[in-house]
Structure 1
């Protein structure tokens, strides 16, 4: 890797930025020259509009690889269109072409489910997150105890701010990736058993972005980078090395 490599890490809805720390630690051991920036995606959204901000000091500081998972991956793809000159490439994990169900995306979420989540969040955030978390893991991962580890690592602590969670739901309701190419490399990674963003959405994205590379991991759910961190590290590093020569 070249010395100027900088990586921006965006997590998904309701997840803290620290979800990326195990992967970053592996990078730091293999190449300490890489610069990392963790971002809380909920702070990037402008209130009820659910629109991601794009004016940030760290985006002006060099050219970045952006690694985004779920909602963070959707933002990364949108940034790649809006500020392509500041983005070297995008790694989008567990991302779909459109989150809410539509004729183009028949496997998306029923918008009424998101609206119910909005109504319940102010009074029962723990229950809303628990219901969401149950969908993140494949049956194979569930049997291996990953939901328990997730709850112990991230849900038995202070919960995310409700206003940020609501802004994230608004973002997901409006997100729809346009059917037009990007000028930066895009690498897609998806779990074959992802119930949050079904793999069919990633396959539609790959068809919309003919230069993109799609990798699908059998038996993985919505968190392949977290349940298989070592495999993910090598998947990511190999593609960065290849792209940077």
Structure 2
């Protein structure tokens, strides 16, 4: 039995980033994409994880399989914990429960680095977004193609989107889902690039070990966006999981 597949993108992008993966998926599957609040064509939803999750929840069919990448993966985890009646299983790509380092969590970006991104975004949002996109291509054998694809799918940090994008960076700085991860009962498949310099593989390994039903696949030649550099391989894993 297949399930509706809902794709949730990461910070600063739009749902168009999923185009290569969608092209690789079996067209008989029901696949939907959602723009995160204030991204793409979506309206803003405030500056809290709860308000962003509510905005996504309003668009979810029942029994959805959420495919979340980066910030989208954190939203997917949050929704799976709070609304198990709407979320049947998860695929998490480039995922982490906590994006920044703390005294008890080192598998993440240094807090000062993200703080610098937030300050830079206030001064020169376009340049900051380009830097963030460039980081996502590091460690990938198809780095140039990945960066080009991300750039083409970026939400412009113009007057209509700048506030929401800044709020999204605030979410990345503050979300910590480590306490709720053991409560997530849905089956979870984790896909991660071994060369991901934005989010260490150790974060995905922690999720696989801590989730009650989590399995991890690591792509040796990929970075933070393996669904762009390895769309066929990611599609095959997602299709099998959706029909399981």
Interval of TM-score (by shorter of Structure 1 and Structure 2): 0.7 to 0.9
Matched, 1:135 2:135: yes
Q: Which residue of 2 aligns with 1:49?
A: 48
Rounded to whole Å, the distance in 2 between the matches of 1:91 and 1:176 is 19
**Which range moved further: 178-187 or 164-173?**
178-187
Identify the residue that residue 5 of structure 2 maps to in structure 1. 7
Do the aligned partners of 2:192 and 2:218 also contact (CA within 8 Å) in 1? yes
5+ unaligned residues in a row in structure 2: which ranges? none
Evaluate the alpha carbon distance shift between residue 79 and residue 133 of structure 1 in structure 2; reply closer, same or farther with a 3 A threshold.
same
Length, aligned pairs only: 234
Structure 2 residue matching 1:23: 3-state secondary structure: helix
Aligned equivalent of 2:239: 237
Unaligned residue ranges in structure 1 (runs of 5+): none
Distance 2:74 2:150 in 1: 24
What residue in structure 2 maps to residue 214 of structure 1? 216
* Higher mean displacement: 130-139 or 91-100: 130-139
Query: Aligned ranges for residues 22-101 of structure 1 at < 5 Å?
Result: 22-27=20-25, 30-32=26-28, 34-43=29-38, 46-51=45-50, 52-54=52-54, 56-59=57-60, 61-101=61-101
Aligned to 1:191: 193
Which whole-Å deviations, capped at 9, do the CAs of 1:173-202 have from their partners, x for residues lacking one?
121122523121111110011011110011
Post-superposition offset of 1:138: 3.5
In 2, the alpha carbon distance for the partners of 1:74 and 1:151 equals 19
Q: In the aligned structure 1, how far is the partner of 2:88 from the partner of 2:166?
A: 30
Task: Give the TM-score taking structure 2 as reference length.
Answer: 0.86
User: Aligned-residue CA RMSD in angstroms?
Assistant: 2.3
Q: Does structure 2 conserve the Cα–Cα contact (< 8 Å) formed by 1:50 and 1:170?
A: no
Instruction: Give the whole-Å Cα distance in 2 for the aligned partners of 1:93 and 1:112.
Output: 24
Cα-to-partner distance string for 1:73-126 (whole Å, 9 max, x where unaligned): 111011000001111101000001211101332132222322222222233112
The 8 Å contact of residues 46 and 53 in structure 1, kept in 2 or not, is answered as no
- Is the CA contact 2:91–2:188 (under 8 Å) kept in the aligned structure 1? yes
Contact 1:181 1:208 in 2 (8 A): no
CA distance in 1, matches of 2:114, 2:157: 19
* Structure 1 stretches of 4+ moved >6 Å: none
Task: Report how far residue 145 of structure 1 moved.
Answer: 2.7
Cα distance in 2 for partners of 1:45, 1:168 equals 10
Q: Is contact 2:5-2:67 (8 Å) kept?
A: yes
Which structure has the bigger radius of gyration?
1
| Partner Cα separation in structure 2 for residue 76 and residue 140 of structure 1 | 25
